[in-house]
Amino acid sequence: MEADTIISAVLLGFVEGLTEFIPVSSTGHLLLLGHFLGFESSGKTFEVLIQLGAILAILSVYFGRLWALLTAAPSDPRARRFFIGIIVAFLPAAFAGVALHGFIKTVLFESPTLICVTLIVGGVILLVLDRMPSRPRYRDAYAYPVWLALAIGCFQTLALVPGVSRSGATIGGALVLGTDKRSAAEFSFFLAMPTMAGAFVYDLYKNRNVISMDDAVVIAIGFVTAFIAAVIVVRSLLDFVSRHGFAPFAYWRIAVGTIGLVALFLTAPATTPTTAAPEPDASDGSGGVTATPSIPAPPGTGPTFSQPSDDAASGSEGAIVPTPDEAGQRAEDRPDGMPQVDSSWFDERFQTPPQVELTRPPETGTQATPAPADQPQTDPPLPPRKP
């Protein structure tokens, strides 16, 4: 295992524990950081499986309170209503997550631009909700009615889009429905337990065949780091929210999303225009190389022939070879070294000039002259016969 992989696992585990329970989208931060670090996990399982550290962190902090509610549930209607509300709030995200698991992993998790945009939009919405005048009707997270818990669970399904934030969706939905900030954050803690545990188990089952021993070691490193960071956040978040609200997290989301978009723009690979290759001409039979015909010569001077170059004679690629219709049979194919011209070449390109009939030259070698038009042409007299 390389040292860079270990360092990346430690950084990602710390980011997971730090951001899981605050409304800034831990999954969005993990995917963006992994993208810029060049960290790749099998099926994007690392980002989900290290959540086990955050789950154990919140269980360790709230174990005493949960145990007291669990033992009081048989006799205390308030405790029973609390557990029923948590289960009901968990169901919408569970069904949606199972139905859309493939789309989420293969499409949404692979879009850093979408993550940056949702970080910015979610930050603006969270800032508006934080500055809204509040008249909370529900201040006790253990006494939320079941319908309110179900409505908060429906808001949680928005967190299936990376960058939205599970805690941001549940806290924002609770504030819209009339809760105060502290109880909204606390109910989000409790709802995170079954939601994150269910996502962990389901993702582990779906990727049981692709996780190798090296992946297990990297996941374990991220898990331990996430556990330590999450314990620190859970112990201090409620007091921080009570004093400062959610505006700091909103500004953080907007800043990270903006920086991410700029970084994606600067690191985008440059695209160079490509010139399409010419399509082969099937009519010339030259395997994609089109012959260039010679320019016809004026009548009476005969055609000009393009002599094959050394590249053409050697059969090198890209040579221009005259076709038989244009250049006739090549000289080396004839014993006398002269090219043989097909007469059809002249018929197609030139008008044949009128032929002038000449008399047969005499045997003495003198050149005959054309006979006048008004006198009949006679043969020359024969020499006298010897006795």
Please, are residues 53 and 16 in contact by the beta-carbon 8 Å criterion?
A: yes
**Within 10 Å of residue 263's Cβ, how many Cβ atoms?**
15
Phi, psi torsion values for 374, nearest 5 degrees:
-90, -5
Residue in this structure with the two tokens 């997550």, named with its chain if needed = 97
Phi/psi class of residue 328: alpha, beta or left (left: φ > 0; alpha: ψ in -120 to 50)?
left
C-alpha to C-alpha distance for 289 and 282, rounded to whole angstroms? 9
**Within 10 Å of residue 258's Cβ, how many Cβ atoms?**
14
Please, are residues 18 and 222 in contact by the beta-carbon 8 Å criterion?
A: no
With CA atoms as reference, report the closest residue to 328 among 316, 315, 345, 351: 345
With CA atoms as reference, report the closest residue to 170 among 129, 116, 230: 129
Q: Can you give the pLDDT at residue 316?
A: 46
Mapping DSSP to helix (H, G, I), strand (E, B) and coil, where does residue 21 land?
coil
Q: Can you give the pLDDT at residue 314?
A: 47
C-alpha to C-alpha distance for 226 and 13, rounded to whole angstroms? 4
pLDDT tens digits along 173-199: 999 999 999 999 999 999 999 998 888
Q: Can you give the pLDDT at residue 313?
A: 45
Instruction: Name the β-bridge partners of 138.
Output: 179
Q: Can you give the pLDDT at residue 121?
A: 94
Q: Which residues of the chain carry a pLDDT beneath 70?
A: 1, 40-45, 48, 211, 213-214, 270-387
**Within 10 Å of residue 97's Cβ, how many Cβ atoms?**
19
C-alpha to C-alpha distance for 380 and 383, rounded to whole angstroms? 9
pLDDT tens digits along 369-379: 555 555 555 55
Please, are residues 1 and 216 in contact by the beta-carbon 8 Å criterion?
A: no
